Amino acid sequence: MARLTRVQTQERTRVAVLAAARAEFAERGYRDGRVDAIAERAELTRGAVYSNFPGKRALYLAVLADLVERTQAPPGARPGRNLEEALGALARTWVTPAPGGIGRALPPELAGEMADVLGALAGVNAVLLGLAVEGVAGVRWDGPIHTRRVRLAELVLALLHGARQLDSLPGGAGAPAAYDVVSACERLAGLVMDDWWAPAEAAVEASEVDREWAVPEGLVDLVSGKTVASGGGAVPGPGSGAPGGGAMPSPGSGAVALSGDGVVAVLGVRRLDAVERVARCGVPVTIALVTDTPVEVLPLVRVVVGELCAAVRVAFPEAAWPEVRLVCDPGGRLATAAGFAESGDMTEAAALLSDGRVVATAEGTGAVTAVLGTRSLSREG
């Protein structure tokens, strides 16, 4: 029998630790789960566990991310033909119990420790769901100030999260029935709100460059749930079950292409308020999410944003999915390929792509607007 490589051994150890952690947390919960017990279940040393995960919090988030990515769509689920049906299907997917005995609601103590990141991710989810709602509702832009559906999305998500938190209490005290949650989300489809958005001006200037562009391997787009590759359209490739791909992948296998024309935006977790202006920039855009603490924060992104994107893929027709690629970039490989070797929580940067090359970059508030401005100037010239 061939001897395992170091990488294969590490992966086998990681899989064993995750399986043991899943069993420990399902039985004892987050508060009472112990790393020593996880090591014992996995028949590994405590050091072997810590060589893969820095602590119990990182372990729990990794287990949740794996749970989200393995959860299947509810039986008979299909995209809604209109906004009411789509929101109902979204709620129906959301309230379906998760397998494995671990609830998808974050334990209060863990949520409190990561409240700032959770707040930023709630904003990301509102934008993504808002874009999907606009897509199925046929909203079109017609001027510098646009009507949108992000506030409606915030209400839908508040209802879903609130119902889940109540359901996580002992005995589900005070939790509304799943039918009522679905019905309430369907009724929200008819709510008309005063909601508008105006794009911000760039606060930085772009620099023109000329570099080759290549997409790093092994990254996953949370919106589509598929691996990413270079090209102009979907291409054959690995299935969507790769780590970070999100639950309930879209039908079919393959990879989703990152176009050689468009924008790559690099956003740190402290700059996620820029997601809307990036997503609405009007050209194909890929967002690389980066952080100073990837081992904990990016699994949380996979849990929170990955679950929402997976539910959108089930509930909304593909034509309404947000036209943005959202990639967790733990090693900063996509950021480096775009020209930003150093990135972290406070990064806001953008690279403009044209014909498979990086032709402009900018760093700071409004970086996407800045690089798109160089395209306009070159056309005028």
Scored b (16 or more CB within 10 A) or e, 64-84 reads: bbbbbbebebeeeeebbeebb
H helices then E strands: how many in the chain? 13, 11
Question: CA 115 to CA 71: how far, in whole Å?
Answer: 25
Can you tell me the mean pLDDT for 217-238? 73
Binning pLDDT at 50, 70 and 90, where does residue 276 land? very high
Q: Cα-flanking dihedrals φ and ψ of residue 353, to 5°? A: -105, 140
Binning pLDDT at 50, 70 and 90, where does residue 1 land? low
Most confident of 99-103, 159-163, 245-249, 262-266: 262-266
Across the chain, what does the average pLDDT equal?
87
Residue 297, C-beta contacts closer than 8 angstroms, at least 6 positions apart: 114, 117, 269, 291
Kindly give the interhelix angle for 83-95 and 150-167, rounded to the nearest 10 degrees. Answer: 30
> CA 304, 230, 372: angle at the middle one, nearest 5?
75
pLDDT tens digit sequence for 323-368:
999 999 999 999 999 999 999 999 999 999 999 999 999 999 999 9
DSSP letter at 5? P
Separation in Å, CA 379 to CA 191, 253, 376: 42, 39, 5
Where in 188-340 does DSSP place strands (E)? 196-197, 207-212, 220-221, 226-230, 255-258, 262-268, 285-290, 325-328
Question: CA 203 to CA 315: how far, in whole Å?
Answer: 38
Tokens 């996880």 -> residue: 38
Q: Which range is least confidently modeled, 52-61, 253-262, 358-367?
A: 253-262
- Give the CA dihedral 213, 263, 265, 212, nearest 10 degrees: 10
In the chain, the percentage of residues whose pLDDT exceeds 70 is 89
Q: Which range is least confidently modeled, 4-8, 98-102, 265-269?
A: 98-102
C-beta atoms surrounding 172 within 10 Å:
12
Task: Return the sign of the alpha-carbon dihedral for residues 347, 262, 357, 331.
Answer: positive
pLDDT tens digit sequence for 85-136:
999 999 999 988 777 667 778 899 999 999 999 999 999 999 999 999 999 9
User: For residue 142, what pLDDT is reported?
Assistant: 61
Contact 240, 253 (CB under 8 A): yes
Scored b (16 or more CB within 10 A) or e, 129-153 reads: bbbbbbbbeeeeeeeeebebbbebb
- For residue 327, list its beta bridge partners: 221, 288
Of residues 145 and 82, more confidently modeled? 82
Q: Which range is least confidently modeled, 71-80, 293-302, 351-360?
A: 71-80
User: For residue 101, what pLDDT is reported?
Assistant: 67
- For residue 287, list its beta bridge partners: 265, 326
pTM to 2 decimals?
A: 0.89
User: For residue 231, what pLDDT is reported?
Assistant: 67
Contact 347, 266 (CB under 8 A): yes
Distant-in-sequence contacts of 109-115, Cβ < 8 A, 24+ apart: 109/30, 109/31, 110/30, 110/57, 110/60, 110/61, 113/57, 114/296, 114/297, 114/300
Question: CA 68 to CA 244: how far, in whole Å?
Answer: 9
Contact 184, 159 (CB under 8 A): yes
For residue 270, pLDDT over 70 is answered with yes
Residue 268, C-beta contacts closer than 8 angstroms, at least 6 positions apart: 289, 290, 291, 292, 343, 344, 345, 346, 347, 348
